[in-house]
Structure 1
Amino acid sequence: IQREGVAFMEAMGSGINAFDVGVGKTMTAIVNLAHNLYSGKCKRPLVVVPKPTYKKWMNEIIGYTDKKTGEFVSGVLSHTGITVNDWYNLGTDIVSKINLNSPVPERSITMVTYEGFKRLGFGDSVSDELFTELV
C-alpha cells in the first residue's frame, strides 16, 4: 500500500495520505519527500506535524538508539545526504541555534510542530489558505 501511495502522489503531483492507523502514513510521506528532493521537485521542504507524533517522525527519518540494546536503528533517510533540521516547537533553545541570516540549506527537510509553525508567524488564516492551495 505504501508503494501505491508514493506512486499515486508522483503521478498526480499531490494527494492526501489517509491510510488507516498502522498502515504507514509516516513512512509513505518520508519516502515521497525523499523522492521529491532527489528528483528536484523541492529543495527544502517544511514538514509540520502534531506534537505527539514529532518524535516518531524524527526517529523514522534519522534513526534512534534502541534503549534496550544500545544499538543505533537507522532511519529511512540515514546515510542519504539529506539533512534534517530539528526545529520542534521553535522554543528559545532552538531559535538560539538557528542562523536567521542564512537560508535553510538545500537538500534538507525542516521538521516543526504546529506550535512551531505558528511561531514562524503563520496564523490560522494563513494556515487555512496554504491548506486550501494544497488540496
Structure 2
Amino acid sequence: MSKQIKIVHVSDDNCDVSLNVGSINGVQEGDKFLVYSLSDHEIVDPDTGESLGYLEFVKGTGEVVHVQDKMCTITSVTYRKPVAKKTIRKTTPSMTMWAGSTVEEIVQDDNREQIPFDNPHVGDLAKPI
C-alpha cells in the first residue's frame, strides 16, 4: 500500500479509530495496523551526521472491524492482563456422610479490559502489521 495511512476519526472512548483506507486499497476485516505519530524533528546519528528519520511514538495496535470502500474502522487489540487463575474446590456428594471426594477446577478469569489507543488524533499515522 503506497498511500500514507492516516486517522480520519477517533471514537469518544479512544478504543476505535477510522483510517483513510478501505476495500479499494485491499483492506479486509481482521487486518492489523500499528497507530503512531512522528517526532517533530529528524533524528541524526551523532557520529556520522546521517539522518535516521523521525522517531515513531506508538499509540497502539488495532484490528479492522468494519470496511467501507475508502475507509475502515479499527479497534484496539491491547488488553490488560486478566486476573490470575482461580482454583475452585468442590466436594462431590457421596452415599455416606463422610466419604465424599474433592474435585479441583481451575477457572481462568477472562474479564479482560480493553486499553484504548494512547491519545490518538486525526492526522496520526498507521501502517499495516
Task: Verify same fold: TM over 0.5.
Answer: no
Structure having greater relative contact order (Cα 8 Å, sep ≥ 6) = 2
| Between structures 1 and 2, the one with greater strand share | 2
Q: Which structure is larger by alpha-carbon Rg, 1 or 2?
A: 2
| Between structures 1 and 2, the one with greater helix share | 1
